[in-house]
Amino acid sequence: MRWCSPYLPLLLLVLLLSLLTLLVGGATDSGFRICAYNVQKFNMEKASNRRVMHTLTRILSRCDISLLQEVMDPDGKAIKSLLSSLNRETDRYDDYTYQSVSSKSLGNSPSDMQQYVFIYRNNTVNVTGQHQYQKEQSFLREPFAVQFQSKKTAIKNFILVPLHTDPRKAVQEIDRLYDVFEEVSKKWKNMNVMFLGDFHASCAYLTRPDKKNIRLFTNSKFSWLIGDKVDTTVSDETNCAYDRIVVYGKDFLKAISPFSTKVFNFAKEFKLTKTKALELSDHLPVEVKLKSSAPLLQTTPLLILLSVSVIVQSFLSAL
């Protein structure tokens, strides 16, 4: 007579649920995250605020690459302090080492010179080129294009092009990103280009009729991943999709993890009041994930089915 514990079905069920949680959870958390954040006048004064730096470090530690905008740090001390925070030896952050690559200070007003800064994990990605767009009178803050290479992603080489527009000329500057696309894709012979940043692409700065004057809208090869109705602001008084992510071509689009593009509401996630969140910025970060190149993650659905099959068979044979 076959012995069967009365608790065996329950134990098998717990095992099944644990395995599914592990596999599905691993698939959900996997991927290479690219983030863009207008951190609003990030300078040494803001970097000296421990609460602000703690929150910013928590935000950036989620991302393989982060684009920061409105960095006002010509001597590099604020970014150095931020990197020290990210690279400190703690259980939370010690799995990765972070580096930065920065544009020169850009703008036409001595009191409002800003830099584009990319913070990236050198464990997962490398910088293979950088290019400062220099066509005069095209942008208030000319895009600073950086080419990255990663063995962790389904698409190995890609170009990130940041833009923080002059809100008064948002339509014209967004349209001129097409010219930047032509220049950088030709320079590096790479069509995998992503535009990201605070475009002011919403509300009074960009209306529906304006789209016909923007080549990134009229050319169907460009995909806008953040929708027009998404709110990328902290305040309850605004509901505008200022911050955007745009990719060129089917190859890059296929390399994006489905439904991974979103706004990261750090105030809600970290249980911060709006007042505390606004100490950091009046914008929320936007993000997208690239698919992983790891064979294990690509075969996760098959592993789940096989595991379920084995557990069910074991359960039936034990009855």
| Single pTM value for the model | 0.84
pLDDT at 90: 65
pLDDT block averages, 10 residues each, the chain of length 319: 48 44 46 96 96 97 98 97 90 80 95 97 97 92 98 96 98 98 98 98 96 98 97 95 97 96 97 96 98 60 47 52
User: How many Å apart are CA 201 and CA 278, to the nearest integer?
Assistant: 21
Tokens representing residue 44 in the block = 């040494």
Instruction: Give phi and psi for 193, each to the nearest 5.
Output: -120, 135
pLDDT at 293: 83
pLDDT at 95: 81
DSSP of 203-255: GGGS-GGGGGG-HHHHSTTEEE-S-TT---BSSTT-----EEEEEESHHHHHT
pLDDT at 312: 45
Query: Domains of the chain by range and CATH?
Result: 1-30+310-319 (no CATH), 31-293 (3.60.10.10)
Q: Coil, strand, or helix at residue 25?
A: helix
> Tokens 């990765």, residue?
96
